[in-house]
Structure 1
Amino acid sequence: MAIEIEKKFLLKYLPSSLLTNGILIRQGYMVNEKERVVRIRLAGDKAFLTIKGITCNAARKEYEYPVPQQDAKEMLQLFCKEPLIEKTRYHVEFKGFEWVIDQFSGDNQGLVVAEIELDSVDQVFEKPDWIGKEVTHDSGYFNSNLIKNPYSTWQIK
């Protein structure tokens, strides 16, 4: 059983000089409930089927499997509700940790978040100066909720 422990943050500013080799991601949800999500993702030339459980204190069960790219394209079209999540993902190394910066497009244009995966919920890490407010526990920022309530429709951003 795989456990994902992830913390999510808004950015104070976009560290543009660090954003290289971005990967275009398109993902949709076949099951999108509070207790579980089943997602299909195209990331560059790779594709994955991912099943995630409910988040509890920044941790949740996660299972991820590679699938053929053509199958993923068909699943996005046939089984996923619109809008799809569209974003460019950048990987940034900082003090021994890999940060992921997601710059959203489409219906979530203007949203940028950074995530860090940890080995334990209480693992200590240093934040880069571009990291702002933590939104780990704000479900509005979950990708699975951004298809229900896209960032472009938020009154206060």
Structure 2
Amino acid sequence: MAREIERKFLLTDDSWKAAAYQQTDFAQGYLTPLQGAAKSSVRVRIEGSVANINIKSLEIGLSRDEYEYAIPLADGEKMLTTLAVGPVIKKTRYLVKHGEHIWEIDEFFGDNAGLVVAEVEMRAENETVLLPNWVGREVTHEARYYNISLSEYPFKDWSEDEKK
């Protein structure tokens, strides 16, 4: 079993773009709704020309169980168009190295246009992470910033107070 350990942050500006060394377009959709007694999310993600199915425990915070498996691209495309619950999330992911970590910055489009979130994966929950100067407020414990939440309540529908 894999355990994902990561922190999420909003950004103060776009100065990180100068250090981005890779970018990949993503499309992902969820096959299970967030409401109800679900213990996990099941998502299909197309990352460039690769498709995966991913299962994550529905825990909000630093760490959660995660399983990911490659699937044929055609299957992933079909699942996104016929089985996804809510809007398909579209984003570009940029990779930025800072200190000992690789930061993943997600710039969202479509129903979540205007939202940019930075994530950093860690080896342990108590690991020290050097925060770049472009990192702002931490939102690790705020469910609305998780992709599954964005598929059910997209950024375009947030009030101005929720966007702060």
CA distance in 2, matches of 1:32, 1:85: 14
Equivalent residue, structure 1, for 2:137: 133
Offset at residue 16 of structure 1 (A): 2.4
Q: State the identity as a percent.
A: 39
Greater Cα offset, 99-108 or 81-90: 81-90
Task: Give the letter aligned to residue 27 of structure 2.
Answer: R
Equivalent residue, structure 2, for 1:11: 11
Equivalent residue, structure 1, for 2:65: 61
Equivalent residue, structure 1, for 2:118: 114
Task: Give the letter aligned to residue 27 of structure 1.
Answer: Q
Q: 2:92 aligns with which of 80, 88, 92?
A: 88
Alpha-carbon contact 2:19-2:97 (below 8 Å) kept: no
Is residue 2:109 matched to residue 1:105?
Answer: yes
Task: Give the letter aligned to residue 10 of structure 2.
Answer: L
Unmatched segments (≥5 aa) in structure 2: none
Superposed CA RMSD in Å reads 1.2
TM-score by length of 1: 0.95
CA distance in 1, matches of 2:58, 2:9: 19
SS of 2:86's partner is coil
Residue 11 to residue 56, structure 1, CA distance change in 2 (3 Å): closer
Equivalent residue, structure 2, for 1:74: 78
Equivalent residue, structure 1, for 2:149: 145
Task: Give the letter aligned to residue 124 of structure 1.
Answer: T
Is residue 2:39 matched to residue 1:38?
Answer: no
Equivalenced residue count is: 157
